[in-house]
Amino acid sequence: MRTVAYASIIGASGYTGQETLDRVLAHPELELVAVGSDSLAGQPATALDPRLNRNGGRRVPVFIANEAALACEADVTFVCLGHEEAAALRPSKRSVVVDLSGAHRLRDATLYDEWYGFSHPHPSELGDWVYGLPELMGLGGRELPASAGVRPGRESGRLQGSARSESARADSDRRQQGRLVANPGCYATAALLALGPLREAIEPDGVVVDAKSGMTGAGRIPKASTHAGFVLENVSPYKVGAHQHVAEMAQLLGFPVSFTPHLLPIRRGLIATCYVQSAGPDLRSLLEAHYASSDVVTVLPVGVTPEIGRVQGTDAAELGVFSDRFTGRTIVVCAIDNLGKGAAGQAVQNANRLFGFAETDGLRLSGVRV
């Protein structure tokens, strides 16, 4: 019998919310029961995008307020809000929560003032959240279990009579089983996919990460730095030495990195070039071994470079490994889609692991689009 889990999305009108919505609708094991957006509450799905609810696709319910979507206590809730707004939420005690913001990524509450500009309202609860980078689980912090024994709400189209009561008992200890998931940031995802498996094999001093991302990484709310007149025909660094994702990188790696992000004049896609010094081992061999069984991350053959164009619109990641013949350093390049593996795709991947679904369910991984 096919088991289906109920899903809700909070903040569905933003870029990450819309991308998450698209993946939930394509997921064979998730059924959408609530779509939250304070700006679109009471309006039909077509208010967000006229492609919804047409051509025989799965139906999207009318938008409701975010608070109401959270209160519906679906089996899994995807939180797609701003950092400070997400930090103020009190998660349901009955559901898995995957937070796509930065509100719960850092274990040290004092770092939020420094990196996010606000004091965390629930500092004592940060330890309950698991940092959800599936390919690196177990390398740092608490581990996200491959399946936490979550009981979804429906089986073969019929409500399970005891599912809710059993779920309530099981979910009383969800925090001990990793049911609160902090989805990593897009830059952190790319850098950590490249560096995480190597952290014990490289010199910790002098690691440099140079990364570039499309403009959707800045969110849907317009600002001067994402205006077409600023972005087009321009490449600009921003938050130099002060981007919040560097704190995530240091937290998992165990040492600081020098990180500079840049804004590209494209809608989506991200590429991170990482410069490291091996402490002895062959770094390509380590990465190939680590990702040998991955359906999401590919270590490209020798001489093949990762490209944004090949991962745009997907949830895949490409890694390339190169030797710098002049300095003896190793250069590891990672390309992802900032809205895919860097956000919505990874959120769904995390949910898949917790529910015991196939890890690639609902993900965009195939095709050779031009």
Q: 64-68, 183-187, 228-232, 339-343: which range is least confident on average?
A: 228-232
In terms of domains, do 201 and 71 share one?
Answer: no
Q: 32-36, 75-79, 157-161, 185-189: which range is least confident on average?
A: 157-161
In terms of domains, do 54 and 196 share one?
Answer: no
What average pLDDT does this structure show over 268-278?
98
Range of the domain at 328: 186-338
Q: What percent of the chain has pLDDT over 70?
A: 86
Please give the structure tokens belonging to residue 192: 């950590």
Give the model's confidence band at 331: pLDDT under 50 very low, under 70 low, under 90 confident, else very high. Answer: very high
Is 247's pLDDT higher than 90?
yes
Q: Residue 254's domain is classified under what CATH number?
A: 3.30.360.10
Is 272's pLDDT higher than 80?
yes
Q: 73-77, 92-96, 171-175: which range is least confident on average?
A: 171-175
Q: Residue 132's domain is classified under what CATH number?
A: 3.40.50.720
Give the model's confidence band at 216: pLDDT under 50 very low, under 70 low, under 90 confident, else very high. Answer: confident
Is 151's pLDDT higher than 70?
no
Is 142's pLDDT higher than 60?
no
Give the model's confidence band at 215: pLDDT under 50 very low, under 70 low, under 90 confident, else very high. Answer: confident
Contact 196, 294 (CB under 8 A): no
**pLDDT at residue 339, as a whole number:** 97
What average pLDDT does this structure show over 111-116?
96
Residue 364 included in any domain:
no
Residue 197 included in any domain:
yes
What average pLDDT does this structure show over 237-245?
95
Is 162's pLDDT higher than 50?
no
Residue 360 included in any domain:
no
Residues marked as catalytic: 186
> What span, in angstroms and rounded, lies between the C-alpha atoms of 324 and 55?
52
Is 301's pLDDT higher than 50?
yes
> Which residue stretches of the chain are H helix?
15-26, 66-71, 83-87, 111-115, 163-171, 186-195, 228-231, 245-253, 283-290, 308-311, 345-355
Residue 365 included in any domain:
no
What average pLDDT does this structure show over 110-130?
96
Give the model's confidence band at 229: pLDDT under 50 very low, under 70 low, under 90 confident, else very high. Answer: confident
Residue 370 included in any domain:
no
**pLDDT at residue 189, as a whole number:** 98
Q: 84-98, 134-148, 207-221: which range is least confident on average?
A: 134-148
In terms of domains, do 202 and 150 share one?
Answer: no
Q: How many domains does the chain have?
A: 2
In terms of domains, do 169 and 205 share one?
Answer: no
**pLDDT at residue 243, as a whole number:** 95
Residue 139 included in any domain:
yes
What average pLDDT does this structure show over 318-341?
97
Is 172's pLDDT higher than 90?
no
Crossing angle between the packed helical segments 15-26 and 345-355, to the nearest 10 degrees:
50
**pLDDT at residue 169, as a whole number:** 43
In terms of domains, do 11 and 38 share one?
Answer: yes
Across the chain, mean pLDDT equals 88
**pLDDT at residue 220, as a whole number:** 66
Give the CA distances from residue 110 to residues 1, 14, 142, 156, 250, in Å, rounded to whole numbers and listed in that order. 47, 28, 19, 47, 15
Give the model's confidence band at 177: pLDDT under 50 very low, under 70 low, under 90 confident, else very high. Answer: low
In terms of domains, do 17 and 67 share one?
Answer: yes
Give the model's confidence band at 95: pLDDT under 50 very low, under 70 low, under 90 confident, else very high. Answer: confident
Residue 205 included in any domain:
yes
In terms of domains, do 132 and 231 share one?
Answer: no
Spatial CA neighbour of 253 closest among 330, 192, 171 = 192
In terms of domains, do 73 and 115 share one?
Answer: yes
In terms of domains, do 65 and 145 share one?
Answer: yes
- DSSP conformational letter for 266: S
Spatial CA neighbour of 210 closest among 190, 225, 224, 230 = 190
In terms of domains, do 121 and 218 share one?
Answer: no
> pLDDT tens-digit profile of 23-67?
999 999 999 999 999 999 999 999 999 999 886 778 899 999 999
Contact 221, 11 (CB under 8 A): no
Is 324's pLDDT higher than 70?
yes
In terms of domains, do 210 and 293 share one?
Answer: yes
In terms of domains, do 41 and 166 share one?
Answer: yes
More confident residue, 157 or 123: 123
Residue 221 makes CB contacts below 8 A (sequence gap 6+) with: none
Residue 60 included in any domain:
yes
Give the residue carrying structure tokens 């860097």. 342
